[in-house]
């Protein structure tokens, strides 16, 4: 009896292996798919890693200085010594302010009135005017924030100097010392990498498995499979195996590239990372299988896969736009993508280095996802079979 079961199992593995082997051979000849799998992820990585950067650096700044004292120079030096502001030059007339802003030569103009220095030392309020080009609202508000911070430290310094001159020791009522944990220099690439990995993984997994199944339907080869002793489960396992391995390889390559290019390291457990990635991949593959069961041609399967995997994982997953700042209805809607949960897991493992205790909920969500997709696709497949 036991040996009979063994024999049965042995045959089952052989059939699954035959399918996997066939998939790899077909993939080797499918140049288009190879590009999608191995080149596309790097294009995305480079694109997102370098081009899409939410940090504001090297703001071009012009100065219209009517005071021309040590204090204004000091103020300007403080700004330009950071990498945030570059001094474009001094303007010599009020008319030029409009010109340089209009023509986009600078993003920011600082205006010091004649009485800037005098006011400081006579105990009056000294004013600085900043003119910001406000078309890019995001950048404009970042500039305004930087300026506020710069003005505040400058004020503090002056106050302390004044107090010292009057023989009293300066003290600071509230000393705010911000420390940004997990991403100390607030580098947005570090924040984007987990999302990028998730997006690339879901795309490759969903598209590859959906296309691979629909191709059999489209070419009629599925008929030959159906009449063979292969069960649909064996077929699905045989097909998902090679693509899971490929997706894992891609994930590793992205991680390595992320380390080399952007200095992203794995702070947490590599084993946990591997297991949660497998669970996430399983959810994605089930999603692909579901798509394959509702589409009849490769073209439709590709479009649906791309739409379903790309858009929500870009817009709704918290990859780029924080979920907390979305309207409540949209926040509920964000649950349709497994990427949302995987990103949280990845950020936890990669950036924070924390363990299962902080993301077990997300793991459960992913498992529920897989089960739901698997259930739906078997339901649809069953219906298709009887018709």
Q: Which residues bind other proteins (CB under 8 A)?
A: 11, 14-15, 17-19, 21-22, 25-26, 29-30, 219-221, 223-231, 385-387
User: Long-range contacts made by residues 305-310, C-beta under 8 angstroms, separation at least 24?
Assistant: 305/203, 305/206, 305/207, 305/210, 305/211, 306/203, 306/207, 308/206, 309/199, 309/202, 309/203, 309/206, 309/207, 309/284, 310/199, 310/203
Pick between residue 267 and residue 382 the one whose CB is nearest to other proteins.
382
Q: Nearest approach, Cβ of 289 to other proteins (angstroms)?
A: 19
Q: Nearest approach, Cβ of 302 to other proteins (angstroms)?
A: 17
Pick between residue 24 and residue 294 the one whose CB is nearest to other proteins.
24
Pick between residue 176 and residue 227 the one whose CB is nearest to other proteins.
227
Pick between residue 94 and residue 223 the one whose CB is nearest to other proteins.
223
d(CA 93, CA 103): 16
Pick between residue 11 and residue 58 the one whose CB is nearest to other proteins.
11
Q: Nearest approach, Cβ of 10 to other proteins (angstroms)?
A: 9
> What would the two tokens of residue 53 be?
């950067």
Pick between residue 145 and residue 221 the one whose CB is nearest to other proteins.
221
Pick between residue 21 and residue 127 the one whose CB is nearest to other proteins.
21
Q: Exposed (0-12), middle (13-18) or buried (19+): which is 86, by Cβ within 10 Å?
A: middle
d(CA 312, CA 343): 13
Q: Nearest approach, Cβ of 293 to other proteins (angstroms)?
A: 16
d(CA 131, CA 97): 9
Q: Nearest approach, Cβ of 282 to other proteins (angstroms)?
A: 25
Residues belonging to the chain: 387
Pick between residue 230 and residue 294 the one whose CB is nearest to other proteins.
230
d(CA 85, CA 108): 9
Q: Nearest approach, Cβ of 222 to other proteins (angstroms)?
A: 8
Pick between residue 29 and residue 70 the one whose CB is nearest to other proteins.
29
CA atoms within 13 A on the CB side of 53: 13
Q: Nearest approach, Cβ of 18 to other proteins (angstroms)?
A: 3
Q: Nearest approach, Cβ of 245 to other proteins (angstroms)?
A: 19
Q: Nearest approach, Cβ of 285 to other proteins (angstroms)?
A: 21
Sign, CA dihedral 233-237-239-240, equals: positive
């Amino acid at each position: 009896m036991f040996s009979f079961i063994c024999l049965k199992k042995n045959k089952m593995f052989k059939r699954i292996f035959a399918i996997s082997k066939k998939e790899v051979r077909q993939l080797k000849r499918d140049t288009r798919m190879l590009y999608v799998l191995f080149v596309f992820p790097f294009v995305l990585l480079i694109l997102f890693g370098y081009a899409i950067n939410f940090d504001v650096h090297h703001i071009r700044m012009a100065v219209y200085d009517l005071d021309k004292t040590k204090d204004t120079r000091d103020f300007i030096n403080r700004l330009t010594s950071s990498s945030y502001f570059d001094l474009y030059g001094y303007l010599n007339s009020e008319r030029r302010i409009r010109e340089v802003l209009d023509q986009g030569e600078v993003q920011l103009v600082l205006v010091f009135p004649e009485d800037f220095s005098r006011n400081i030392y006579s105990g009056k309020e000294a004013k600085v005017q900043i003119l910001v080009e406000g078309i890019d609202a995001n950048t404009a508000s970042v500039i305004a924030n930087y300026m506020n911070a710069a003005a505040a430290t400058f004020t503090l310094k002056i106050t302390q100097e004044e107090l010292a001159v009057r023989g009293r020791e300066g003290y600071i009522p509230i000393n705010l010392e911000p420390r940004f944990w997990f991403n100390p220099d607030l580098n947005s690439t570090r924040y984007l990498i987990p999302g990028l990995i998730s997006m690339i993984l879901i795309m490759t997994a969903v598209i590859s498995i959906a296309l691979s199944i629909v191709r059999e339907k489209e070419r009629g080869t599925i008929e030959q499979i159906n009449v063979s002793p292969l069960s649909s489960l064996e077929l699905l396992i045989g097909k998902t195996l090679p693509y899971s391995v490929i997706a894992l390889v891609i994930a590793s390559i992205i991680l390595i590239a992320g380390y080399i290019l952007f200095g992203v390291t794995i702070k947490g457990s590599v084993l946990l990372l591997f297991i949660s990635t497998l669970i996430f991949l399983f959810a994605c593959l089930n999603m692909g299988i579901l798509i394959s069961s509702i589409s009849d041609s490769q073209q439709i399967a590709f479009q649906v896969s791309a739409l379903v995997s790309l858009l929500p994982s870009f817009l709704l997953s918290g990859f780029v736009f924080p979920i907390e700042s979305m309207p409540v209805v949209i926040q509920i809607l964000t649950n349709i993508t497994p990427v949302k949960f995987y990103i949280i897991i990845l950020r936890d493992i990669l950036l924070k280095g924390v363990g299962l205790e902080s993301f077990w909920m997300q793991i459960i969500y992913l498992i529920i996802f897989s089960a739901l997709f698997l259930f739906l696709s078997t339901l649809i497949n069953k219906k298709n079979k009887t018709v």
